[in-house]
Chain A
Amino acid sequence: DIQMTQSPSSLSASVGDRVTITCRASQGISRALAWFQQKPGKAPKSLIYDASSLQSGVPSKFSGGGSGTEFTLTISSLQPEDFATYYCQQYDNYPYTFGQGTKLEIK
């Protein structure tokens, strides 16, 4: 199975900050990488697919990059509604696997 490792596991930031979360795959996955946002008690929401393509309706403050084994999610100009847990996921090979999550908290 492909292991997905996110860093950091938690992150404190202030409103207005720009933050970057990293996701590393244990083997190359081309660009088959997605990012999700989850708020407490809610279902995950898809943000990005194919490493850098925004899902419909997702604001451009979210951006993704990378290929192969290293990927990033960048959120610019943090707003209160952006504080949540973020997950990466690979869909290059079965079984599809998720990172352990990055909890973004208000400083």
Chain B
Amino acid sequence: EVQLVESGGGLVQPGGSLRLSCAASGFTFSDYFMDWVRQAPGKGLEWVGRSANKRKSYATEYAASVRGRFTVSRDTSKNSLYLQMNSLKTEDTAIYYCVRGFNSFDSWGQGTLVTVSA
């Protein structure tokens, strides 16, 4: 069974940093693209960024709204995906979901809430 468990969310001040983690299990982690998708309170879904699979050299892509501030990475020895978020803005407040990028987005974690506020 595919499982994705996010952690690392919390309250951070504007301009601060936070690193989210996603522990993956139930599949061969290096074979799959992995994504981050976020949802601001009461709003719709926004794709944040992705890490390609091993065959694609774990290449990354980002939404324009986070490019240069956020970094997606993975540690295959720990079957973990990460989202390093720097220079956080109030508009980054959202639930962040870790998603497996197979057949579009076939499996989602439960999400972790990031609140950016003074």
Contacts and interface: CB of A to CB of B under 8 A. Distances in A.
Nearest to B63: A95
Interface string B84-118: 00000000000001000001111111110000000
Interface of B: 35, 37, 44-47, 61-64, 97, 103-111
A7 to B, nearest CB: 14
B57 to A, nearest CB: 16
A97 B44 contact: no
Interface of A: 1, 32, 34, 36, 38, 43-46, 49-50, 53, 55-56, 87, 89, 91, 94-101
B105 A98 contact: no
Contacts, number: 58
A32 B101 CA distance: 13
A43 B108 contact: yes
A49 B103 contact: yes
Contacts of A44: 37, 45, 97, 105, 108
B111 A43 contact: yes
B47 A46 contact: no
A99 B44 CA distance: 8
